[in-house]
């Protein structure tokens, strides 16, 4: 059987395996040192977690919780090995992170041979400086996360769960993984100033790009936060606000670095001191006075009072406590440090002003082809980009060379002609059009080979052609819907917001109470506990359920806008106004199934499960996601099951034949499994349990169509000729 990977991907994987093997061979003599460093990180992290970290993380979690919330939440271990295995996994990750730089250093020869190591030596001072700045920024991100973000977030999540009648019983594994994931996200997000400055300084990405694309940066920051933070406005704001501030700081740092690089030749340190000595002295004096006054005029007491007001256990010690000096002398020592900082700030400010005046405003580089070669000298002509000469014709080049000769600058004239001839030779050798066509052809060839690889897995030649035709039809229909995407997205967002707002403000608790009233009498409220093992579990369920409702709401719109394209591809027949009747029929089936499930099926199934556990004297603690999805699937799910055969009959009335539905059962299965994976709990068992009844009722629908269409010999839709007459008569539909 052919591989599911194309040739280029296989070649890339083979090259990666070869590189890893070469790195291991190059570092073979020093692997013992790498392993020792790994053990140091592993064992050190293991015991740090055991002795200090768990208590610290729990104190952070409870920092902003009310007394009632602290009593209502718990952190539990689900199995006897949860804690020790979690400590081992975190220790291994820490050991690998600690040992990886040393491994890369020892394998530098193998990386240098493959061009993956810097060719020119890098100053150790620069490496240490970058590492120090990166560490400070990482630590700053952690400080914000643990002092501000985590306390407020956990107080909100636990309080929200308790307010709707659930018990936040967090699994130590899920709780710790969630905190460490957010810890890394804050630490790496804090590297933004360093990354933007480095990219701008090296001109990999020009500073002007970061400056002009700030709107895109805002969208990216918000989208990144949506992936790693709870989906409520409060925590989104707490994530996005410092990130936007960091982006502004990053832009300023990048501007300073780029200005310093471009104006380095014009900088004169002696002139800076001579021209601004009074400001430098004033900055030093202000820095000394600020720090000295802070320690001698009640700054320490005010800071400790503020920390106590936000329930922080941190305390700032008075001057001299850690130095062994009297308070006045220690305050003076600290003041000298403040004077140095004030001097550095003043010097940096004036240095930047002088450099900026020498360089001028930073502008976005223009099109190289628009450079005025006539204004350049001979050296400028030789340094100009080739696009400036590729855009010329021969008459322009000769005219510019003649003007240079008239100005008695034969060197410039010769440089212009040489650059023009070189640009022509390059274009002739490469063949601009042929090269472009070749590049496009290469991309198309790779795409075709990749698509062919997957098509080979699909079946024989007839199946592959049918599969490719199906993809083309789907692309055509999708293009027809795209023009109305704004309306569809607006309706989707509105339904999603309303549904989520209702659940978020207590609707999920109302559903739970309503369901409890329909359970058997022997199942009391105290005997049925619904818990959250993950801090985000309740919110994730609310988001998924809201998305499901929003998808159902926009399905009629999708059908309405896709109908003309479907009719053109001969998938359906008749006018699209039949969708109104479809919506009514499907809603009747949905609500009828929901009523049956809500009144009989769901209470019977869950009541039987709960009663059986109560009789066995078990403590019942169902997860929010599992319990509520069971309610959804046994209530609304019954309505969906009823609607599938109804929808199949309706599709047959507009031209989707019984034979086509029977032949497409594989595609239907894949689509149902994908929907189950997206909207139900993220586990394989639930996905299969949801897909099986859906496919069963799909089989019922096929059986019903087999009877109604006399085995597929006579479908319920109008004949093709009648459809064409109807379409001609109602082209405005």
CA angle 224, 225, 228 (to 5 degrees): 95
- Count other C-beta atoms under 10 Å from residue 462's C-beta: 8
Residues 6+ apart with CB under 8 A from 130: 194, 198
- Count other C-beta atoms under 10 Å from residue 200's C-beta: 26
Average pLDDT score over the chain: 76
Q: Are 566 and 477 in contact (CB under 8 A)?
A: yes
Q: Given this model, what pLDDT does residue 721 score? A: 42
C-alpha–C-alpha distance, residues 89 and 177, integer Å: 10
Residues 563 and 665 in one domain: yes
Highest mean pLDDT pick, 37-41, 61-65, 506-510, 660-664: 37-41
- In the three-class reduction of DSSP (H, G, I as helix; E, B as strand; rest coil), residue 311 is classed as coil
Q: Are 300 and 318 in contact (CB under 8 A)?
A: yes
C-alpha–C-alpha distance, residues 446 and 99, integer Å: 38
> 367 or 485: whose pLDDT is higher?
485
Number of domains making up the chain: 3
Is the pLDDT assigned to residue 513 strictly greater than 80? no
Q: Which residue, of 359, 382, 410, is where some domain finishes? A: 359
Q: Are 502 and 590 in contact (CB under 8 A)?
A: no
- In the three-class reduction of DSSP (H, G, I as helix; E, B as strand; rest coil), residue 721 is classed as helix
Average pLDDT of the residues in 241-266 = 75
- In the three-class reduction of DSSP (H, G, I as helix; E, B as strand; rest coil), residue 169 is classed as strand
Is the pLDDT assigned to residue 452 strictly greater than 80? no
Highest mean pLDDT pick, 129-133, 317-321, 645-649, 724-728: 645-649
C-alpha–C-alpha distance, residues 5 and 449, integer Å: 10
Q: Does 474 reside within a domain?
A: yes
Q: Can you tell me which residue has the tokens 């309405």? A: 560
Query: Across 48-168, where does the E strand assignment appear?
Result: 74-76
Q: Given this model, what pLDDT does residue 491 score? A: 92
CA angle 581, 582, 586 (to 5 degrees): 120
Residues 426 and 287 in one domain: no
Q: Rounded to the nearest 10 degrees, what angle do helices 537-568 and 665-679 cross at?
A: 150
* Of the candidate ranges 160-169, 223-232, 363-372, 558-567, the one whose mean pLDDT is the lowest: 363-372
The per-residue DSSP string of 682-695 comes to SSHHHHHHHHHHHH
> 189 or 87: whose pLDDT is higher?
87
Residues 572 and 673 in one domain: yes
Is the pLDDT assigned to residue 192 strictly greater than 60? yes
Is the pLDDT assigned to residue 725 strictly greater than 70? no
Residues 425 and 536 in one domain: no
Q: Does 188 reside within a domain?
A: no
Q: Does 682 reside within a domain?
A: yes
Q: Which residue, of 402, 433, 454, is where some domain finishes? A: 454
Backbone angles phi, psi at 121, to 5 degrees: -65, 140
- Cα dihedral sign, 464-467-473-478: negative
Q: Are 10 and 3 in contact (CB under 8 A)?
A: yes
Checking DSSP bridges between strand 169-171 and strand 74-76, what pairing results, if any?
parallel
Q: Does 275 reside within a domain?
A: no
Strand partners, 171: 76
| DSSP tag of 374 | G
Residues 6+ apart with CB under 8 A from 88: 46
Q: Does 267 reside within a domain?
A: no
Task: Count Cβ atoms within 10 A of the Cβ of residue 691 and give its class: 0-12 exposed, 13-18 middle, 19 or more buried.
Answer: buried
Residues 511 and 609 in one domain: yes
Residues 502 and 521 in one domain: yes
Residues 672 and 556 in one domain: yes
Q: Given this model, what pLDDT does residue 77 score? A: 85
Q: Given this model, what pLDDT does residue 72 score? A: 83
- pLDDT (tens digit per residue) in 514-558: 777 777 666 665 667 778 887 877 777 787 888 888 988 898 888
**Helices and strands: H and E segment counts in the chain:** 32, 4
- Count other C-beta atoms under 10 Å from residue 421's C-beta: 13
Q: Does 338 reside within a domain?
A: yes
Q: Which residue, of 454, 479, 511, is where some domain finishes? A: 454
Q: Are 258 and 200 in contact (CB under 8 A)?
A: yes
Residues 472 and 440 in one domain: no
CA angle 687, 179, 232 (to 5 degrees): 70
Is the pLDDT assigned to residue 658 strictly greater than 70? yes
Q: Does 385 reside within a domain?
A: yes
Q: Are 701 and 650 in contact (CB under 8 A)?
A: no
Residues 332 and 429 in one domain: no
Confidence of residue 123 (pLDDT cuts 50, 70, 90): low
Distances (CA, A) of 293 to 340, 342, 678: 16, 14, 60
> 257 or 379: whose pLDDT is higher?
257
Which residue segment(s) compose the domain that 331 sits in? 280-359
Residues 436 and 546 in one domain: no
Q: Are 253 and 193 in contact (CB under 8 A)?
A: yes
Backbone angles phi, psi at 627, to 5 degrees: -65, -45
Confidence of residue 228 (pLDDT cuts 50, 70, 90): low
C-alpha–C-alpha distance, residues 96 and 90, integer Å: 10
Is the pLDDT assigned to residue 229 strictly greater than 70? no
Tokens for 481? 């819907």
Q: Does 75 reside within a domain?
A: no
Strand partners, 76: 171
Residues 556 and 666 in one domain: yes
The per-residue b/e assignment along 315-354, b for 16 or more CB within 10 angstroms, e otherwise, is: eeeebbeeeeeeeeebbbbbbeebbebbbeebbeebbbeb
C-alpha–C-alpha distance, residues 336 and 285, integer Å: 9
C-alpha–C-alpha distance, residues 679 and 675, integer Å: 6
Residues 321 and 380 in one domain: no
The per-residue DSSP string of 409-433 comes to -HHHHHHHHHHHHHHHHHHHHHTHH
* Of the candidate ranges 33-42, 200-209, 546-555, the one whose mean pLDDT is the lowest: 200-209
3-state helix, strand, coil in the chain (%, to 5): 80, 0, 20
Q: Can you tell me which residue has the tokens 């969708």? A: 579
CA angle 134, 135, 141 (to 5 degrees): 90
């Amino acid at each position: 059987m052919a591989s599911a990977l194309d040739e280029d991907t296989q070649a890339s994987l083979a090259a990666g395996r070869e590189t890893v093997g070469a790195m291991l061979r190059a570092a073979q003599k020093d692997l013992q040192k790498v392993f020792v460093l790994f053990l140091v990180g592993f064992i050190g992290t293991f015991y740090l977690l055991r002795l200090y970290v768990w208590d610290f993380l729990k104190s952070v979690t409870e920092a902003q919780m009310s007394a009632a919330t602290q009593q209502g939440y718990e952190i539990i271990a689900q199995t006897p090995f949860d804690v020790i295995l979690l400590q081992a996994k975190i220790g291994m990750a820490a050991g690998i992170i600690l040992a990886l730089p040393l491994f890369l250093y020892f394998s530098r020869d193998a990386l240098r041979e493959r061009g993956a190591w810097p060719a020119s030596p890098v100053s150790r001072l620069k490496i240490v400086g970058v590492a120090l700045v990166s560490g400070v920024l990482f630590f700053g991100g952690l400080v914000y996360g643990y002092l501000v973000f985590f306390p407020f977030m956990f107080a909100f999540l636990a309080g929200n769960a308790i307010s709707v009648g659930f018990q936040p019983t967090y699994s130590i594994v899920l709780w710790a993984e969630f905190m460490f994931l957010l810890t890394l996200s804050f630490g790496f997000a804090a590297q933004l100033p360093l990354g933007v400055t480095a990219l701008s300084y090296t001109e990999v990405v020009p500073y002007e790009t970061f400056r002009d694309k700030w709107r895109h940066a805002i969208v990216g920051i918000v989208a990144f936060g949506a992936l790693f933070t709870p989906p409520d406005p409060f925590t989104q704001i707490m994530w996005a606000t410092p990130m936007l501030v960091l982006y502004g700081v990053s832009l300023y740092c990048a501007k300073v670095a780029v200005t310093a690089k471009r104006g380095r030749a014009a900088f004169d340190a002696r002139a800076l001191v001579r021209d601004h000595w009074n400001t430098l002295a004033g900055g030093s004096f202000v820095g000394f006075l600020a720090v000295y006054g802070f320690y001698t005029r009640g700054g320490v007491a005010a800071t400790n009072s503020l920390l106590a007001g936000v329930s922080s256990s941190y305390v700032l010690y008075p001057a001299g406590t850690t130095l062994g000096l009297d308070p006045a002398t220690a305050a003076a020592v600290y003041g000298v440090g403040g004077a140095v900082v004030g001097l550095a700030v003043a010097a940096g400010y004036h240095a930047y002003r002088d450099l900026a005046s020498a360089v001028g405003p930073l502008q976005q580089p223009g099109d190289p082809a628009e450079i005025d070669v006539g204004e350049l000298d001979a050296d400028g002509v030789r340094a100009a980009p080739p696009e400036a000469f590729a855009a010329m014709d021969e008459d322009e080049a000769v005219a510019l060379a003649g003007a240079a000769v008239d100005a008695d600058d034969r060197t410039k004239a010769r440089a212009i002609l040489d650059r023009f001839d070189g640009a022509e030779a390059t274009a002739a050798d490469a063949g601009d059009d042929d090269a472009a066509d070749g590049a496009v052809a290469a991309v198309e060839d790779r795409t075709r080979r990749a698509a062919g690889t997957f098509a080979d897995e699909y079946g024989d030649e007839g199946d592959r052609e049918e599969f490719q035709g199906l993809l083309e039809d789907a692309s055509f229909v999708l293009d027809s819907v795209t023009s109305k995407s704004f309306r569809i997205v607006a309706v989707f967002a509105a339904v999603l917001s309303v549904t989520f707002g209702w659940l978020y403000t207590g609707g999920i608790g109302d559903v739970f109470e309503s369901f409890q009233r329909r359970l058997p009498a022997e199942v009391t409220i105290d005997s049925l506990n619904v818990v959250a093992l993950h801090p985000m579990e309740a919110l994730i369920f609310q988001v998924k359920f809201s998305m499901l409702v929003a998808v159902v709401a926009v399905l009629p719109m999708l059908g309405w806008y896709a109908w003309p394209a479907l009719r053109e591809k001969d998938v359906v027949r008749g006018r699209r106004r039949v969708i109104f009747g479809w919506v009514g029929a499907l809603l009747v089936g949905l609500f009828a199934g929901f009523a049956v499930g809500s009144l009989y099926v769901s209470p019977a199934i869950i009541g039987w499960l709960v009663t059986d556990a109560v009789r066995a004297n078990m403590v019942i603690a169902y997860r929010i996601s599992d319990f509520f999805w069971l309610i959804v699937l046994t209530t609304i799910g019954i309505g969906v099951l009823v609607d599938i055969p109804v929808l199949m009959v309706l599709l047959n009335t507009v031209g989707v034949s019984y034979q086509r539905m029977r032949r497409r059962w594989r595609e239907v299965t894949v689509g149902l499994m994908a929907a189950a994976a997206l909207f139900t709990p993220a586990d394989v068992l639930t996905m299969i349990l949801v897909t099986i009844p859906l496919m069963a009722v799909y089989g019922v629908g096929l059986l019903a169509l087999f009877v109604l269409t006399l085995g597929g010999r006579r479908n319920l839709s109008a004949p093709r000729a009648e459809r064409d007459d109807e379409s001609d008569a109602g082209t405005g539909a």
